[in-house]
Amino acid sequence: MGAKTGLLVYADGDAPEALRGVGAADLDRTVATMRRLHPGRRIEECEGSTLWDGVYPPKGTTYAASWPGVDVIGDQRVMIDAPSQLPGHLVAASAGRRLVLHAMHSVVDWLAFAVWEDGRLVRSLSLSPDSGIIENFGEPLPFELPYWAGDRPADVISWPDEDEETYPLPFHPLELGEDTLRALCGFVKEGRPEPDDVDADTVRLHGFQVQDPQGPGLEDQEAQLRRAVEAMGPPRVYTLGPGGSLVERDGL
């Protein structure tokens, strides 16, 4: 499994149902949503994406779309360990609506998701095999129950002539992550699509560069990175010497 997400969905009701019926997202409406969610920041339009690809944008980029009744925001900045700590202004923007946060990173088998109803947090879960359960607030939602009941155990990885390795959690976070994404947002990143899933590859999102006006722009950040790389010395290569000591080699 290799999916990554950083996603917020604001909906007047059921987000999957709303997303199944959307057409082209109005740019002006989407820009207004972006300005409401990022007050005081510099927002510049850039190339967009789709709901399928846009749930994990490059850093500094936000993919977004707003329709009557539902708004979608893809942004790495919402990938936080404790979803209950989502910035207050993002939660406040959900007054009278449902807000869903979905964050997942396959490299570390991490999942975090949360649901707010009219600004009130009703469910939050964050866990990974390395950190264990980081946050677990509220009652599990119906799609979670088979996982907590032990009906969806993580696959055990073992190799010939080696002891069986036990996964440190009772289920695999990414498997729950896909079921969470389908239940709360209407689609999956991996796994077999179901007939009533949202066709996420056809839902277009607008693209935006979001910058702190007091901070460096993307060009300045790239220039700083280039300067840092140029200031580095030549690479140093080591090999194992007698007794396991490290010995620097000349050249590559």
pLDDT digits (tens, 9 = 90+) for 47-101: 999 999 999 999 999 999 999 999 999 999 999 999 999 999 999 999 999 999 9
Q: Max CA-CA distance within the chain?
A: 70
Residue 34: pLDDT over 80: yes
What's residue 203's pLDDT? Answer: 97
Structure confidence at residue 212 as a pLDDT band (50, 70, 90): confident
Q: What is the pTM of this model?
A: 0.82
- CA-wise closest residue to 99 among 75, 70, 77: 70
Query: What is the SS3 assignment for 49?
Result: strand
What's residue 159's pLDDT? Answer: 44
Strand segments (E) across 202-244: 204-211, 237-240
Q: Mean of the pLDDT values across residues 193-214?
A: 92
Structure confidence at residue 158 as a pLDDT band (50, 70, 90): very low
Residue 39 CB contacts under 8 Å (≥ 6 apart), including other chains: 89
Structure tokens that stand for 132 in this block: 């264990």
Q: Mean of the pLDDT values across residues 142-162?
A: 78
Give CA–CA dist 199/184, Å, rounded: 15
